[in-house]
Structure 1
Amino acid sequence: MGDIAKNETTFYSNAEDYWKEVPPTVDGMLGGYGSISSIDINGSKAFLQKFLGEGEGKTGTSCALDCGAGIGRITKRLLLPLFNTVDLVDVTQEFLDKAKTYLGEESKRVGNYICTGLQEFAPECGRYDIIWIQWVIGHLTDNHLVEFLRRCQKALRPNGLIVIKDNVSYEGVVPDEVDSSICRDLEILHSLANQAGLRIVHEEQQMNFPKEIYQVHTLALR
């Protein structure tokens, strides 16, 4: 057990150290793939719009949470245009500081900037219509991911949704030593969502990304 605890500590601290050295830019957020940002946002918008709007069972638009928000790339182009209030959570204070200027005039609709790792973060109960978790679950151990998703479920408003958008490996778990993260396959991801007591409402693959990067899948859960 001591070993796991020690390795876990290193897993998190190495990731924090990695992000501290990353420039607070869109290109930095996307590991040099800044050019895919628009394709990514447009895919996410089409995905989200299936659930938003008026009527029975539709998800509200009062408040969203951007997990692993970085400088607010997703907040700026996806969430602030669709939701009244957005909260940002990220482990790197410099990114959150940069978000305040990067988001420009619209930053006045940001509710909270929260600097913490998701493994320690407990979102406020019943606050969010959408909890958006993109390109960050690889920084959580399986147990911490399951626990975090359980806390997220409690943080949803009626008809609220948790959305995970992330890299998916072909098989098993693939470690990335560079940024101290892991990439899981779809079956493992489904199993962890299941352990968290969530069901998959909708799922699709993001198309038109460069061939050499991982497949990216988007899952809506509640």
Structure 2
Amino acid sequence: MKTPGNNNWYTDAADYWASVDSTVNGMLGGFEQVSEPDCRDSLKFIQSFIAAPDAPVAPAAKGPPTITPGLACDCGAGIGRVSKHFLLRVFDRVDLVEQNAQFLETARTSYMGQDLQRVEQFIPIGLQDFTPEHQRYDLIWCQWVLGHLTDEDLVKFFKRCKDGIKPGGLIGVKENVTKGGVIVDDEDSSVTRSDYILKQIFEQAGLKLLKEATQTDFPAGLFTVKMYMLKPIQS
């Protein structure tokens, strides 16, 4: 069985995604029908963290902190599905981070359509090598991509993300979770971690969990999908 961190871990993942169609169905592994409930629940999840127009942006005395819906980073963006149908329904602008150049080209030339003018940067790099610009983002959103990172690289990635968000900015995660332990997918060089293991990694990276929720209305037989909102722990 393949183990995370071997010499071919990241190159094998890149090779797998190079064989995938640049379509929504390709991005979702043949489950195109989950796109609508996915984006619907993500929008519901994030609403309590978005400041109302003209409202002060600051940690609230009661309730969650709020952020300005300015610039978001879509990590593992693929062709831009999450940006188009979720992030750009909340944020003014996005950056797309995706190691597969063909996916980004599809986003640029066709998929994003009229929303293309609201994409600031197309960044063709894997998350194991991605370093966000200092204090650039209001939100860094990571969905169905962190399983490609080893535990060590994931902790390092989150630490870089802490530097990449503005003061008061947040980090969002949406991932499949197991009932316990880790399941390795040899085909695409990814792991599915348990909720417990993900929370251990958040803690190791110096992140505080503000909110979590479970995705609803997905077909039976798929992994449970959880959403997490995180902020840096103040030292």
TM-score after normalising by structure 1: 0.95
Q: 2:78 matched to 1:78?
A: no
Contact (CA 8 Å) 1:24, 1:95: kept in 2 or not? Answer: yes
SS of the equivalent of 2:176 reads: strand
Distance 1:220 1:8 in 2: 30
Unaligned runs of 5+ in 2: 60-65
Identical aligned residues as a percent: 43
Where does residue 159 of structure 2 map in the other structure?
150
SS of the equivalent of 1:164 reads: strand
Q: By percentage of residues, which structure has more helix?
A: 1
After superposition, the C-alpha distances for 1:154-205 in whole angstroms (9 at most, x for unaligned) are 1111221100000001110100111110000011100000000000000011
Of residues 159, 173, 184, the one that matches 1:175 is 184
Where does residue 43 of structure 1 map in the other structure?
41
The one-letter code sitting in structure 2 at the alignment partner of 1:88 is L
Where does residue 112 of structure 1 map in the other structure?
121
Q: CA RMSD in A?
A: 1.2
Where does residue 92 of structure 1 map in the other structure?
100
Distance 1:9 1:116 in 2: 18
Distance 2:155 2:88 in 1: 27
Within 5 Å, which residues of 2 pair with 1:1-222?
A: 7-54=5-52, 55=55, 56-57=58-59, 58-100=66-108, 101-222=110-231
Query: What number of residue pairs does the alignment pair up?
Result: 218
The one-letter code sitting in structure 2 at the alignment partner of 1:148 is F
SS of the equivalent of 2:89 reads: coil
Distance 2:89 2:39 in 1: 12
Contact (CA 8 Å) 1:60, 1:159: kept in 2 or not? Answer: no
After superposition, the C-alpha distances for 1:42-100 in whole angstroms (9 at most, x for unaligned) are 00000011100233431111100000000000010111121111000011000000001
Distance 1:60 1:207 in 2: 27
TM-score after normalising by structure 2: 0.90
Distance 1:158 1:125 in 2: 10
Cα drift, residue 207 of structure 1: 1.2
Distance 1:138 1:219 in 2: 15
After superposition, the C-alpha distances for 1:83-119 in whole angstroms (9 at most, x for unaligned) are 1110000110000000012000110111100001100
Q: Return structure 1 stretches of 4+ with deviation > 3 angstroms.
A: none
